[in-house]
Amino acid sequence: MTGAAPEPIAEVREAVKRFPAPEGGVVTALDNISLEVQQGQFATLLGPSGCGKTTLLRTISGFEDLDSGEVRIGGIPVTGVPPYRRPVNTVFQNYALFPHLPVSGNVGYGLEVAGVQRSERDRRVGEALERVGLSGFHRRKPAQLSGGQQQRVALARAIINQPKLLLLDEPLSALDRNLRQSMQLELKSLQHDLGICFLFVTHDQEEALTMSDQVIVLNQGKIEQVGPPEVLYHRPATRFVAEFIGDGALFHGKIQNTDADPVLVTEDGLRIAVGTGPGVGDSATLIIRPEHLSIAPEDPDDSMGVLDAVLEQMVFKGATRQYVCRLANGAAISATPPEASEEAFIRVRPGEPVRLAYRRSKPHLIVETN
């Protein structure tokens, strides 16, 4: 006998939200969206600007009302419940700290409003600041803190009430690259230590892959795909996800068989050997990631596909080198081979022909259903 499935901490059911457009008419920010977020997850809403991710976050927090649909937190409907009565806290992009209050006053503000006694409030403020690495910063004002420190104060203020769900609206976007990468790891570690669900908004796919247990990819008010980062990267369900997450060359065409081996044939006649799975005549999109490619051996075996190209340039990226090539049909394709096979690339000069090889099982095919 198996136990019941865990109750999701947050549910959104058939959510619709529209806004009036400046030029007239309406814009549909959320187009019949349904999703579940589980307790203890670091979940991320990922998508380009205007896809609806911040609107979705604001409907969960209560700062926006849905036109139709329902939001549940901990199994309880909260549609129409004001933000301050929902068991969630939000960390905003600009942190929204009170400039006239010290760090302790900012962090403990919610407890003070709730009438928590001074001794208990001081204890919990101290614990929250210790969790975010700011012990000893009680008396500083926000203007005396760096951007990263201000972000940690906002986090401490958000977690001090022990919410069931913590919502984070692009809180790292104002930080420089090095601090941002450091804070990504710290946020993930903090979420693990607290054991509560974080629902994080970002348009940065690298950030989403680094931090998340589950990624919800949005596009034009709809959900494109939900899954762990590894699944979205290696097995994107739609062309949009394949283009938005990671680097890669995409090829669209129809599946044909040549001596029982499936081949994707593009409209301009490029033939690309693929793995098994799709049927003959299916329309499909193939994505080849840069790490799939290396220089072809003199006698490639049947498990390999080969593409004839011309090397255009080498781009040094520190830990890796990117080799930008041009295929016969004019399409660009890049390779970032492993160090063990890079020596063959180094011997090729820009303008010279190169044969690119890949294991046919590696590139992913997205078969169109319509």
pLDDT in tens, 122-151: 999 998 898 888 888 998 998 898 888 888
Residue 354 tokens read as: 């190169």
CA–CA dist 104, 290 (Å, integer):
49
CB distance 213 to 39 below 8 Å:
no
How confident is the model over 155-170, as pLDDT tens digits? 888 888 888 899 999 8
Q: Which residue from 204, 185, 189, 188 is spatially nearest to 53, judged by alpha carbons?
A: 204
Burial class (CB in 10 A: 0-12, 13-18, 19+), 322: middle
Please tell me the total number of residues recorded for the chain in this structure: 370
**Cβ of 42: how many Cβ atoms within 10 Å?**
23
Q: What is the pLDDT along the chain (370 residues), one digit of tens a residue?
A: 455 556 799 999 999 999 998 888 899 999 999 999 999 899 999 999 999 999 999 999 999 999 999 999 999 999 889 998 899 998 887 778 888 999 999 999 888 888 888 999 899 999 889 888 888 899 899 889 888 888 888 888 888 888 889 999 988 877 778 878 888 888 888 888 888 899 999 999 989 999 999 999 999 999 999 999 999 999 999 999 999 998 999 999 998 876 667 889 998 889 998 887 667 778 899 999 999 998 888 888 888 899 999 999 988 877 788 899 999 888 999 999 877 667 777 788 888 999 999 999 899 999 876 5
CB distance 294 to 335 below 8 Å:
yes
Order of strands across the sheet with 165-169?
88-91, 165-169, 197-202, 42-46, 214-219, 222-227
CA–CA dist 193, 180 (Å, integer):
20
**Portion of the chain with pLDDT greater than 70, in percent:** 96
Give me the pLDDT at residue 48, please: 93
| Number of Cα atoms under 13 Å in the Cβ half of residue 265 | 11
Structural domains for the chain: 10-243 (3.40.50.300), 247-368 (2.40.50.140)
Q: Which residue from 179, 161, 157, 167 is spatially nearest to 102, judged by alpha carbons?
A: 157
